[in-house]
Amino acid sequence: MKSIYDFELSELTELMENNGFKKYNATQIFQWLYRQKVSSFDEMTNISVKLRDWLKENYTCEGLETLKLQVSRDGTRKYLFRLHDGSSIESVLMHYDYGDTICVTSQVGCNMGCTFCASGLLKKQRDLTSGEMTLQVLEVQKDVEKMGVRVSHIVVMGTGEPFDNYDNVLAFCRTVNHDLGLGIGARHITISTCGLVNGIRRFADEHVQYNLAISLHAPNNEIRSRIMPVNRRYPIEQLMDALKYYCEKNNRRLSFEYILLKGVNDTDECVSQLIELTKPFDVYVNLIPYNTVDEHGYVSTDYKTAMELYNKLMKNNVRCTLRQKHGEDIDAACGQLRSKYERGKI
């Protein structure tokens, strides 16, 4: 049975009209789900029993089961959720000065095969529905509400490649953004891609305000193809062309994610090449310390070298941050908690 969380408000409205109910019933249901955050149709007390019964017969209103919750010393909360088909997924809540940010998973497993990432240890089983992504935000919000916390920012940076599940990810963004529901500002929502060029071009044509982040991680094809197989399909030149197209169509700042892998992408030459790549763009570079994944054998660049890279970028007028690590004492690397769980290690 389809989940009620899979409907955008516009679809819910159509559903009501097509089945002899009132248009405004859609708004009522939407608000019960995302404002009151009820977990059953029976709690929707201002709609008729007839409509409630019809909803119960045709749709589910089930949330996600929390299998595990790890809380880090720095307050980072990592959730392992169970989906209705038994698959497990992770979501992470991180506290930043500008707000509490949830990192949402978009697929069960991932097929992109980045050689440093824990998510790819388990191949993609399926795409998440938009409702399964929305429910991650809802469940986390419900959990932290009692502490007075509001999830104000979303990054689609959990397991999976969002542009490999394009339609559902965009539907999810519209639902959580809607001001009759969770009302999370479009500019507070970030979609991160490893560089699926067709997805970037399609996204450019949508003219939406969500932020776009690119997992660049290497400034040339030789290194990038080695650590990110997607680069063999869409080499850097094609990626940069698509990004130029995006920037022409949308007057938005981009961000480049750049994880620091010792001896792989952290040389002086790499930084010079990175500076060149940023030149055509209004771009913000996030230098990210690598969270060690035992199975992969990479280590993070040491702090001193990372600071040198950061300073060189700054000196060359590239805006950047050296990101702090979050949740180091828990399984914070993408996909780490899930992959351990699925393989019976916890």
Please tell me the distance from the alpha carbon of residue 65 to that of residue 149, in angstroms, as a whole number.
21
Tell me if residue 90 is catalytic.
Answer: yes
Rounded Cα distance between 196 and 14, Å, is: 32
Binding of ligand SAH at residue 194 (CB under 6 A)? yes
Please check whether residue 191 is in contact with residue 162, taking contact to mean a CB–CB distance below 8 angstroms: yes
Catalytic residue status for 334: yes
| By CB under 6 A, residue 291 contacts ligand SAH | yes
Which of 114, 194, 247, 334 does the annotation list as catalytic?
A: 334
- Residue 190 touches ligand SAH, criterion: CB under 6 A: no
**Residue closer to ligand SAH, measured from CB, 36 or 321:** 321
Site for ligand SAH (CB under 6 A): which residue of 16, 157, 243, 283?
A: 157
Q: How far is the CB of 179 from ligand SAH (least distance, A)?
A: 27
Q: Is 333 in the site for ligand SAH (CB under 6 A)?
A: yes
Nearest-CA neighbor of 216 among 180, 184, 256?
A: 256
Alpha-carbon dihedral angle through residues 75, 182, 157, 68, given to the nearest 10 degrees: 50
**C-beta of residue 245 within 8 angstroms of C-beta of residue 201:** yes
Which of 3/190 has CB closer to ligand SAH?
Answer: 190
Residue 253 · residue 285 · CB < 8 Å: no
d(CA 333, CA 310): 22
Binding mask 251-280 for ligand SAH (x = CB under 6 A): ------x-x---------------------
Q: Are 336 and 292 in contact (CB under 8 A)?
A: no
User: Which DSSP string do the residues of 59-93 spell out, in sequence order?
Assistant: EE----EEEEEEE-TTS-EEEEEE-TTS-EEEEEE
Catalytic residue from among 8, 90, 139, 257: 90
Of 151 and 288, the one with the shorter C-beta distance to ligand SAH is 288
Complex with ligand SAH: residue 54 or 284, whichever CB lies closer: 284
Q: How far is the CB of 345 from ligand SAH (least distance, A)?
A: 17
Residue that the structure tokens 């497993």 belong to: 109
Question: Can you tell me which of 116, 166, 172, 203 binds ligand SAH, judged by CB under 6 A?
Answer: 116
Cα of 259 vs its chain's centroid, Å? 17
DSSP state of 286: E
**Member of 90, 127, 139, 161 binding ligand SAH (CB under 6 A):** 161
Stretch that binds ligand SAH, among 142-150, 237-245, 272-280, 289-297 (CB under 6 A): 289-297
Which residues bind to ligand SAH, rule: CB under 6 A? Answer: 112, 114, 116-118, 157, 161, 192-194, 215, 217, 257, 259, 288, 290-291, 293, 333-334
**Catalytic residue set:** 90, 334
